[in-house]
Amino acid sequence: MNVFDTSTRPVPSNVLSFQYNTSISSILHEIPELNRTIRYRCISSSFFSHSPPSNPVLHVSDSIHKTLTVLSHSPQPLQSQLLTSSSSSPVLSLQLHSRMSIHKSSHKDYESVTLSRLARDSARVNSILTKLDLAVNGVKKTDLKPVDTHLFAEDLTVPVISGTSQGSGEYFCRVGIGLNRKPCLVDRDSDAASTLEFGLPVLKDVVTAPLLRNNKVHTFYYIGLRGLSVAGRMLNIPLSTFQLTNDGNAGVIVDSGTAITRLQTEAYSTLRDAFTNGTKELPTVTGVALFDTCYDLSKRKSVQVPTVSFHFTNGKLLNLPAKNYLIPVDSSGTFCFAFAPTSSSLSIIGNVQQQGIRVTYDLENEIIGFSPNKC
């Protein structure tokens, strides 16, 4: 694990401080005693339950206001965190920062920000698919040859992700170990910091799902997903769509480095069609980049939309709040359905769907938990 001291002040002898410069899974391999639970929490509350709420509300005005203020954020320097430990409860805690909070934006408007994010996201997904393809086909790192490339300072900042560090994410951190941290996954348009925490058990009253492993590649966290529903109605998607195969293909990973959730093309089309069937009263506009389903909400303060829910193989249900799947792409009131199709057999649950919740990876018990209102 590549670490180096970045502290600008004296550090006690029993404390270490370093820059996070590798993947989360690499940290777990380096610190086996922490290889039990990963947790991250929200800053703002979300609404999840075991039964689908009727017509969740999207607060259009609030979302547009954020798009107008995000470009005015003053970049904050990353502060080094402290490393401490306890023999009874070792905990690894990472402070997370959204890209906009640490890098001065050169974008003229929010639409430009969105297009830049989506371009990075596509590169991120391509890198995941490439890594998986190489692993499934038995190609090792030692089989690859380096290529000449030019890197800039920002390229060397590592995104916080569920597995591999390829691509460029929206959350960045410095890493430390400490006790009783309160981790939260912030909205990427926020200038507030959040944390990612290792070493604590899954709390009660959470929506849990089976955590799976791909024997071909160990840097991704797979989840047992049975299907999706819209407005409480289960979609007609074959169970095999989301199943991890013995040869390492297909399946569903949870990845905080990917922004937009990707689904196999047929599954995405089924989800999109069900959603648009429940939003016929909303005025539509031309798609934006990878989004093919967008609406003009410029004349609305709020709207009600059908609930989108994940159904896990253990029978549990996770209902998403409207802001986690209908997002602004400009400051003029254009909102798009935040899912996208992929020709790959792999599906990815991205960070837009994870914002505003705490996610707990309990590696020892092989479960993943989604916790509302626990910040």
What pLDDT is attached to residue 185?
A: 61
Task: Please report the pLDDT score of residue 251 as a whole number.
Answer: 97
Instruction: Indicate whether 235 belongs to any domain.
Output: yes
CA distance 67 to 190: 10
Q: Does 17 reside within a domain?
A: no
Residue 2 located in a structural domain: no
330 assigned to some structural domain: yes
What is residue 138's predicted lDDT score, i.e. its pLDDT?
Answer: 86
Number of structural domains (the chain) is 1
The CA distance from 162 to 185, in Å, is 13
Dihedral of CA 122/259/338/112: which sign? negative
The CATH number assigned to the domain holding 61 equals 2.40.70.10
First vs last C-alpha separation in the chain: 30
**341 in a structural domain:** yes
Task: Tell whether 329 is covered by a domain.
Answer: yes
- 293 within 8 A of 208, measured Cβ to Cβ: no
Instruction: Report how far residue 252's alpha carbon sits from residue 368's, in angstroms, rounded to the nearest whole number.
Output: 13
Q: Does 15 map to a domain?
A: no
pTM, 2 dp? 0.76
C-alpha–C-alpha distance, residues 336 and 303, integer Å: 13
Per-residue pLDDT of the chain (375 residues), as tens digits, is: 333 333 333 333 333 323 333 334 444 444 444 444 555 544 333 344 445 457 899 999 999 998 888 877 565 555 544 444 444 555 565 666 655 555 556 778 999 999 999 999 999 999 999 999 998 888 877 777 776 666 554 444 444 443 334 444 554 444 433 333 334 466 666 666 565 666 666 667 789 999 999 999 988 999 999 999 999 999 999 999 999 999 999 999 998 889 999 999 999 999 999 999 999 999 999 999 999 999 999 999 999 999 999 999 999 999 999 999 999 999 999 999 999 999 999 999 998 998 887 888 888 889 888 876 554
Bridge partners (DSSP) listed for residue 95: 174, 195
Integer Cα distance of 60 and 211 in angstroms: 35
Number of neighbouring beta carbons within 10 Å of residue 82:
15
Q: Which domain holds residue 243?
A: 24-370
Q: What are phi and psi of 359, to 5 degrees?
A: -115, 130
C-alpha 225/C-alpha 210 separation (Å) is 8
* CA–CA gap between residue 366 and residue 212 (Å, rounded): 7
Please answer whether residues 297 and 333 qualify as being in contact, where contact means their C-beta atoms are separated by less than 8 angstroms: yes
Pairing state between β 252-254 and 347-349: parallel
Contact 272, 339 (CB under 8 A): yes
Residue 4 forms part of a structural domain = no
